[in-house]
Amino acid sequence: MIDSSKICAINNEAKYGTGVIGYVLYHGNEKEFSIELDEALSLSDVPIFFETFIKNRTFTITDHFARKWVDQRIVPKNRQNLGMILKEAGLNEYDPYALLLWGGGRSSQDDCRITRCDEKNAVFPLWFTKRLDEKIMYLCPLSKERALVSLKSGVLYLIGLRDPKNAYISAGGDAILNNGKQILQNTELKETGNALPLTMQDLMDIISDEVVPPKAAENILSCSRQNLNYLTSRGIITNILSDSSHRLYWRHELGTR
């Protein structure tokens, strides 16, 4: 997801010199790319590739088109002397992101280049950090065709969702998918979901305070593991996990705070 993504700034040298027009993100777990463009851009600020997106007021570019932009800047996989090029780049295998960095993101079709951002120390513009805060970071399926969704900012939404157990978040956090089909965009949550008066941090605090592992439960009840297993099997205390071989307990059921 977003927090583990690698970020590079996109500079349009012909227009801005070292000025940033957007960012390309590489989501390594999914091996996908996405691009975020500054919403203040005009057609005169960008190369031809981005013009249609600016015209349509589309500032988040997902993997299909982001990959096309990347492919313009790296050696193709079917290149005849690919092995020699990979060796020169210090690579043992074909890696689009590493090749993008190696070539500086340059292309004969425009004057863009990329610079890798040190995410720990980078100072990003407000528009970009706000955009990231609106990405979906967490999805928990619930009963009755509902799901709990958290944005990177920590805002929680309760949404209606068909087949929530098979739903998952896109690599860039821009949408919820099911079998590869987009069923909800992150920008639609405000209209379709109910924002909760809790944050993701509140949820984490509740879990940390209320959920108890077996050893702690034994100490609270001053009982042995055998007795704990007996209480669990009789339904006197609840194992909140559906997997009976692993157990967690509610603190309030143990009769102590």
The predicted-structure confidence for 3-21, as pLDDT tens digits, reads as follows: 678 999 999 887 655 579 9
Least confident window among 45-49, 228-232, 239-243: 239-243
Domain ranges of the chain: 2-130, 135-199, 213-254
Q: What pLDDT is recorded for position 113?
A: 94
Contact of 23 with 8, CB cutoff 8 Å: yes
Q: What pLDDT is recorded for position 205?
A: 95
